[in-house]
Amino acid sequence: MTAAKYLVLADGSIYEGTAFGATATCGGELVFNTGMTGYQESITDQSYNGEILMFTYPLIGNYGINFDDDESVAPTTAGVVVHEVARKASNWRNQMSLADFLTHHNIPGIAGIDTRALTKRIRMAGTLRAALVNTMAEAQVFLQKQEQPNQTNLVAQSTTNNAYPNPNSGKRIVVVDFGLKNSILRELAKRQCNVTVLPADATAKTVLSYEPDGVLLSNGPGDPKDVGQALAMIRTVEKQVPLFGICLGHQLFALANGADTFKMKFGHRGFNHPVREIATNRIDFTAQNHGYAVDLNSLTGTDLLMTHQEINDQTVEGLRHTKYPAFSVQFHPDAAPGPHDASHLFDDFLEMIASYQQQKRSVQHA
């Protein structure tokens, strides 16, 4: 017999469904993802640290789980909400069911929820605090207490504790890990980059001690203003080597250069977000996962130029420094899963490195 599970919202709403995955309870912000596929990549994306992840696509788990597509080895997503969980997975790569995967990682899930109606509710009301509980009594406790979780250490929970290499024969790239997706490393590996991954609290002295050809600031969870220790590092590094920021790395790049960020009403999470490159009017469909954005008005008076903009809501999707070889994007050019329209940005990064090094040689020989 399938056990009951309850999704309770901070506004007093309670939804009854059926449990799958772990029997644990959890609390966190309820957010929605519009992707038709990619549930494994999303659940293992550290950018969802502490969040209850709801999928708008009605059937989740139909192609199972495999051991190759994880974006991190220890997912920190708090819980999963679906309309229907597949009873049987069918795919030649399938190695485990979604329910077993969630159980293994102690992540609770609830099925039987009208995710379409609940998504509309979030779009109107904004992101809501929520909990997944096993009894109505636990639901009432949540509504009475509604304790706010400690959100200030999400990056500390998501980053690596120690530096580690992903060696190859090409350009030396230091990746600062704020909640790194493995797909970023895969894209760098495709380009033969010799990568060293450093913890989020790495100083500029530590970063530069590896004599990198370029530095990449990774994605990660939470409010960029909670990662203030990284700003001084960014301001020093961008003056000395080419720099590329992705998602949270983009927001930190903006803050380090005098711009501001804000919390969005319900964020961008999915694989179908259209983004316009301003210089060329090129449209890319992009993978996104963020609840904060750079304030367009705050760019005035800075050395930052907006390069990309979201078509649906006109939020800032890309920045370039006007003095230093540094740029960033809010979306994921590594996709995984999703459209690969923007993967060329990794090539642009390497071309920026080559151009910068050529300029340095020209100056030295002048």
Known catalytic membership, residue 334 = yes
Distance, in Å, from the CA atom of 271 to the CA atom of 286, rounded to the nearest integer, reads: 6
Joined together, the tokens standing for residue 102 give 């969630």
Beta-carbon contacts of 209 under 8 Å, excluding residues fewer than 6 positions away, are none
Q: Indicate which residue of 247, 284, 308, 321 is catalytic.
A: 247
Q: Indicate which residue of 70, 83, 332, 341 is catalytic.
A: 332
Q: Indicate which residue of 45, 70, 284, 334 is catalytic.
A: 334
Known catalytic membership, residue 26 = no
Known catalytic membership, residue 348 = no
* Residues classed as catalytic: 247, 332, 334
